[in-house]
Amino acid sequence: MEDVAARAGVSRALVSLVMRGSPKVGRERREAVLEAARELGYRPNMMARGLAAGRTGIVGVLLADLHDPWCAAVHDGLADEAPRGDVRLLVSTGRGRPARESAALDDLLDLRPDGVVLVGPRVPAADIDRAAAGCPVAVAGRSVRSGRVDCVTGDDAAAVAHAVEQLKALGHRVIACLDVGPRPSSLRRACEAAGLTTVAGADELPASATAVLALGDTTGTAALTALLRAGRRVPEDVSLVVHGDPPGALSAQVTTVAAPAAELGRLAMAALLDRIRDGVSAEPRRVTVPPRLDERATTAPVRR
């Protein structure tokens, strides 16, 4: 910094102001400083800055699983909203394992971020609450009972209900639910409540069903290929709705129903930024995002 100041013929303090983008520096000197910095390849040291300033300008993002396209979509929303707060996003992940996720969360907290967003976390609620004691925390995609974290969630029951409603409107009466792997219990309950017969394998889909609701992105792909391979045309013989944002949903033209993931991200980041500004004191927000059904090429009226 001293070198830059010397080269630009100004004081160290002025360089500091310029690098922080302070408005009260004349354009003449400002440009001289920026030029000198560029020539010298100077970049402010975030560690030192964070230490001195007491804030880092970092928002830590804990993604449950990098392989999950839903997490990526939520991150998009976070990144869209982040510029409003002048923060940079840094991502860490537990790779689907709760234990590693705890460690990853600790790593983030060690950085003293200005705030943390947990995306689809699988860590115990106690861990989340403890984290929230030290810095602002927002959670997307899971409801956490805590007096100090903001939660933004989709409404699984509403999504299932919405899908079933739509399929019934198309005349479908026998609707099967394909549910592979671990799913939030709320989803499972919603399916039961809607009176769906649930199967755990794509090959077990009952022949009598004229419509299928697949839970999850990859499950949807599996269902589609299994149906087609079994010689059942989609949507002529069977309609398919996928809960989630299937990778390639657009190119595959699959009808989907879900809370828009990016919207979850946007709202979570908005809540977090507010909390960063207003201090941890604020009332915790609990936002529920309604599902959206994107009708594409895999749904049609039932054949008579």
Partner DNA sequence: TTGAAAGCGCTAACAT
Partner DNA sequence: ATGTTAGCGCTTTCAA
Indicate whether 25 belongs to the interface with DNA (CB under 7 A): yes
Indicate whether 93 belongs to the interface with a copy of itself (CB under 8 A): yes
Residues 2-21, interacting with DNA (CB under 7 A): 10-14, 16-17, 19-20
Q: Three-state DSSP class for 211?
A: strand
Binding span for DNA by CB under 7 A among 48-56, 151-159, 163-171, 174-182: 48-56
Indicate whether 221 belongs to the interface with a copy of itself (CB under 8 A): yes
Q: Where are the beta strands (DSSP E) in 38-167?
A: 58-63, 88-93, 115-119, 137-140, 149-154
Q: Which backbone phi and psi does 161 adopt, to 5 degrees?
A: -60, -40
Considering the complex, state which of residue 18 and residue 72 has its C-beta at the smaller distance from DNA. 18
Question: How many residues does this entry show for the chain?
Answer: 304
Indicate whether 157 belongs to the interface with DNA (CB under 7 A): no
Indicate whether 66 belongs to the interface with a copy of itself (CB under 8 A): yes
> Nearest Cα to 119, choosing from 64, 70, 182, 66?
64
Contact partner at residue 69 from DNA, a copy of itself, none, CB < 5 to 8 Å by partner kind = a copy of itself
CB atoms within 10 A of CB 82: 21
Among 6, 25, 34, 79, binds a copy of itself (CB under 8 A): 79
Indicate whether 26 belongs to the interface with DNA (CB under 7 A): yes
Query: CA separation (Å) from 22 to 2, 30, 41, 59, 127?
Result: 18, 10, 20, 22, 38
Contact partner at residue 244 from a copy of itself, DNA, none, CB < 5 to 8 Å by partner kind = none
Residues 277-294 as b or e (16 or more Cβ within 10 Å = b): eeebeeebbebebebebe
Contact partner at residue 37 from a copy of itself, DNA, none, CB < 5 to 8 Å by partner kind = none
Q: How far apart are CA 223 and CA 203, in angstroms?
A: 8
Shortest separation between residue 254's beta carbon and a copy of itself, angstroms: 8
Contact partner at residue 54 from a copy of itself, DNA, none, CB < 5 to 8 Å by partner kind = DNA
The C-alpha angle with vertex 57 and arms to 51 and 60, in degrees rounded to 5, equals 105
User: Binding residues for DNA, per CB under 7 A?
Assistant: 1, 10-14, 16-17, 19-20, 24-26, 28-29, 42, 44-45, 48-49, 51-54
